[in-house]
Amino acid sequence: MAGDQLVTAVRQQLGLGRLLPLGGPADGAWIAERPAAALLREAGDALPGLRVATVRLCLAEPGAAPEPAVPAPPSALPPGPLRIEADFAATAGRPVPASAGLLREALLACAAERLGLEVSAVDLRVTDLLDEGEGGESGGGPDTAGSAGTPGARGATAEDAGPLETAVLRVPGVVRLVPALGALSRPVRREDGHVLVQLAAAPDRRTLDVARAARAAAQKAADGEGGGRPTVAVLVAALEPPAAS
């Protein structure tokens, strides 16, 4: 039984991809690569005459990344600037360098304005040519990959949420709390003076802003519980729309 739980936990965490820093060292926030890449891919696919195949993110300079202000989630990358790597197809009717320039601008804008990622480099590779009229909207987006990496994960509900969980759930843009890291039994983990909050955020708000607000709410609630002032980190494990009321 324990072996099965371990396998499930590993598979679940691998589904998240890398845990990427949101903002800078002082923000104490991370996001799973899979939903971040899905949102970036959606931004590229919205351009006419382009179709994005894959998007990957990694640290631009791993050896120069600073230490975070709070303990990071397990296996998370330190808060240094990121590199976006993307493969794409483009129509022959527009010069490839022009298509690459448009895609680079779209990816940088999405990373900064919709996610809150610090990106210092974008590497693009053309892998195919499209017929005229192909490309544009692909139908993918945050709804498609929003809950990716958390299959079967149960979110915290009003019945089982404590004061800290309730405070985070009240933050605008927080959709639900999810135990995304499979080895952790609850979406909010308290251990050795540190709190890790795992959540799904709405894609129509800047993700870093939601994470910052959730972290502030968790910090205030944790301070009110007494027992010393803990540190708080937030992991955005999914981007998904709120449930219909």
Domain membership flag for residue 86: yes
- Containing domain of residue 162, as a range? 16-32+145-239
The confidence score (pLDDT) of residue 27 equals 97
Q: Are residues 106 and 52 in the same domain?
A: yes
Q: Are residues 27 and 48 in the same domain?
A: no
The confidence score (pLDDT) of residue 165 equals 95
| The model's pTM | 0.86
Instruction: Give residues with Cβ within 8 angstroms of 165, minimum separation 6.
Output: 156, 177, 187, 188
The alpha carbons of the chain give a radius of gyration, in whole angstroms, of: 19
pLDDT tens track for 174-200:
999 999 886 556 899 888 899 999 999
Q: Are residues 152 and 225 in the same domain?
A: yes
Q: Are residues 68 and 107 in the same domain?
A: yes
Domain membership flag for residue 103: yes
pLDDT tens track for 86-145:
999 999 889 999 999 999 999 999 999 999 999 999 999 999 998 766 665 544 444 334
Q: Which position has the higher pLDDT, 10 or 57?
A: 57
The confidence score (pLDDT) of residue 146 equals 41
Question: How much is the average pLDDT of 224-235?
Answer: 84
Query: Alpha-carbon distance 84 to 14, whole Å?
Result: 19
For 11, phi then psi, to 5°, come to -60, -40
